[in-house]
Structure 1
């Protein structure tokens, strides 16, 4: 028993030794949960990393495709203890003011899965796509990534939606306000004019024309709309980016090309399928 324990300790030590050292330039980004840490910087959870991958065994931001290289053992590292460099940011994140917590916001998951990052309470349920990975969400409309993962509602990178107890994108809380994507699936006529809004093949406000093949994916909030198809918000798009000015799914790197005005478009109109 004693010898097996020694071997386990030595194996872990060797694994840690094999992982690349942290880039000291990233010390300021450790533990703030804002997704600003670059690859090679230290992280306390996936929420720290711009790549959404905090790799084991030491907690280093990694490209998801490189999460098992150079001694790393995969995304999903979580640490309850902040380093000296990160402790001020971590302490601030861990103590949100009680009167600033929106209705429905929690700091622990209700139904399993990873714990929510308490720094994200201000972004819960507003449907503005401002919630970062690791923060609580009531629907996909809350998440910058376009993925609100079950079983408890936590914003996730689409590639990590079934890791660490998560059960995949598509979570919608019963307590959530009507999100734009949910409203979009309910046929309704304009009460003032009697007119209705339908999925279109041309943009209403400029930007590239919509690909008509994507009409069936508009407004369902399932994240299956392809780049070039119309969207009512980021929840429609597989890329997680619904670009203005007219609502078209875009690759994040191309969000300001060809007349587009960047990710974050949310339609105030209701979709009626004819």
Structure 2
């Protein structure tokens, strides 16, 4: 009990003195996790070394737990503050530092285009197709939408691949395997007025919030909204069997039968209208 009280007092004193050294402010709720080397400190809480942080990154200049992809943002000076292990409390064994993150997760910096969503750091470079739109990617294999857009590598809807400073699908980092960009959506002329949504006859249910985007061919329908052809979808993929906008990497999940759905009302004399 006496050792715990000593560690708590040392952590509180360090919290007061280090806060003035630079970087973002500490979250005061993390004070109990400072300096115990148990890897329980959350991002935004103070740390004395990487051994405190669940993320494995204790960033300078003051010592704050950080996501690896955000280690130099908001005044932070990168991981490595305090060395690999926290000082041991009197009478307690020193805690070993957690292993560094795998090389694939060490994402390169953003050099153009929109900023990355830091919540996507766990999905960078694993090639599992789980990265959401706005998260960083090293190739198209990371993205649920199938589109990793330049110049920095950010998952994008196919229909928005050249917006907000993006330079189009096909980005591949120097350390990532090449992956083919998804095919562009088939040409389709926008009808004069939005079509009424039809019934769902298979696959996941439609999101009713997407009704205004059905059949207008403007590429504004979000994933989960109904579509009459790929021209409706921001992702460029209208999946069967009922016509629902889908990420390319998820086009056969949850009962979907793949991209390429075109409503019968759009087919006349063997061509898509």
**Above 0.5 in TM-score?**
no
Larger Cα-atom Rg: 2
Q: TM-score, normalised by structure 1?
A: 0.38
